[in-house]
Amino acid sequence: MGPTRSVFFIVNPVAGGGLAGRRWPRIQKQAHRLLTPFQSAFTRGPGDATHLARRALLEGADILVCVGGDGTLGEMVTGMMDGTGPLRPDALLGLISLGTGRDFIRTSRIPGEPEGALDVIAAGRSVPLDLGKISYVDRRGEQTSRYFHNVASFGLGGEVDERVSRTTKIFGGFTSFIWATLLSVLRYRKKTIRLRIDDSPEETVAVMNVAVANGQYHGGGMWIAPEASLFDGLFHVTVIGDFSIPEVFRHLPKLYNGKLQQLEKVRILTGKKIEARSDERVLLDVDGEQAGILPVSLEIVPSALRIIIPQNPSLRL
């Protein structure tokens, strides 16, 4: 990394059940050894990462580093963008993933341990990252929009998020999400959704969940879109149809081993714009956060930001 690059860490101390806050002193010590002088700030609540990212860029930061989970990272990418594109096209985004689900690093191959992630940030290799822009009704009932980097889904995914947010995460991300998924499946009933992809005719579908994927994983390791790429300018859309509860439990392992698309009631589609609406209350999951409800419109934003990732020959660019 060049000596003139200004680095700013945005730390969510409650991410991962407080793991990010506990690990920050060690991260800070290593960062002093590896990086040029840097600044940092802690988030205090929802939306703070967006405001901190925007302010840091406007004040001259060249590299923003997220220390937190996928929700914190999602807020930061929103802060790095405006209505027409990136606020600072030359700025870079780094990630030290310490959240509950830790799904984005499974696709991007960023190391899960802070020490390894900091080594990657110090090396400074960056590539252009696609983002999604989503417009929806937020939890206050207001129309809003934001950006997301990984996966947005509607249906069961939103129910799982809501349950995870109300439960302890002391047993780790996988256990938190699998337990919330099992409870949600038992109480969930199919939703009837009107869905349109690009210029295709709108169709009415009965679904458990629809995942609009930039990355491959969500929900604490569910391999929802095995062919998705962070760099191909497309959403990979997984439509999970009307499964009975016995079918769900029989096929649950396929959510984690990448074989979900083999099932007759699962469709895999691609597109650049997705619209969905329903007469029912359908909850949204946006990068692991229960953000609001349908109706929703999602558009891919190709090569929106530059993200720092490791050199990995198996990562499709």
pLDDT in tens, 66-76: 999 999 999 99
pLDDT in tens, 121-142: 999 999 999 999 999 999 899 9
Do the bridges between strand 143-148 and strand 266-271 make them parallel or antiparallel, or are there none, so unpaired?
unpaired
Which phi and psi (to 5°) does residue 245 adopt?
-60, -45
Confidence label for 299 from pLDDT (cuts 50, 70 and 90):
very high
Average of per-residue pLDDT values in the chain: 91
296 in Cβ contact with 135 (< 8 Å)? yes
d(C-alpha 237, C-alpha 16), whole Å: 28
pLDDT of residue 161: 66
Q: Domains along the chain?
A: 7-129+304-308 (3.40.50.10330), 132-303 (2.60.200.40)
pLDDT in tens, 76-101: 999 999 988 999 999 999 999 999 88
d(C-alpha 300, C-alpha 317), whole Å: 16
Q: Bigger pLDDT: 282 or 177? A: 282
Contacts of residue 61, Cβ cutoff 8 Å, sequence gap at least 6 = 6, 7, 8, 39, 91
The gap between the terminal CA atoms of the chain, to the nearest Å, is: 22
pLDDT in tens, 142-185: 999 999 999 999 988 776 766 666 555 544 555 666 666 677 66
Contacts of residue 84, Cβ cutoff 8 Å, sequence gap at least 6 = none
> What angle do helix axes 156-165 and 173-187 make, rounded to 10 degrees?
120
